[in-house]
Amino acid sequence: MTTPFTINHIEIPAPDLAKGIQFYSTLFNWEFEVLSENEYAFFKIGDTGTGGGLDATLQPANEKQGVQFVISVDDIPTKLKKIEESGGAITKEKTEIPGGLGFYACFVDPNGNHVQMHCME
């Protein structure tokens, strides 16, 4: 049974589905299953039951529009380097969140989605 009121699935716009799969599998080791005649690729994050999909029929929003999501990582500087090597662009370097809430950084994936990462260290 799913816990009520939790997010268990996200859909990421990916007009270039192959680029999206390559980027997220390289960066976060997500495994994909391509469905719907190459218009949708499902992914699951570990054994959490949480996951989502890349949808080739959706268009990305800009950084001031739409829902954005945050991915937990264990090492922001390493991921930032890997993002640039994998075709993404850094929009905000590692930045401390006041109040002891950790750090975050922002990037744009190869399809133009604005994404954030969070780490406690």
Distance CA 67, CA 108 (A): 14
Q: Which architecture does CATH list for 9-119?
A: Roll (3.10)
Distance CA 58, CA 13 (A): 5
Q: What is the dihedral of CA 11, 17, 20, 21, to 10 degrees?
A: 100
Predicted pLDDT at 66: 78
Distance CA 63, CA 82 (A): 21
pTM over 0.75: yes
Whether 56 and 78 have beta carbons less than 8 Å apart is answered as: no
pLDDT digit of tens for each residue in the chain (121 aa)?
556 667 778 999 999 999 999 999 999 999 999 986 789 999 988 777 778 999 999 999 887 787 788 999 999 999 999 999 999 999 999 999 999 999 999 999 999 999 999 999 9
Which stretches of 1-121 are assigned E, i.e. beta strand? Answer: 9-13, 31-35, 40-44, 51-55, 70-72, 89-96, 103-108, 114-119
Predicted pLDDT at 38: 82
Domain ranges of the chain: 9-119
Identify residue 120 by its one-letter amino acid code: M
Predicted pLDDT at 111: 95
Predicted pLDDT at 109: 95
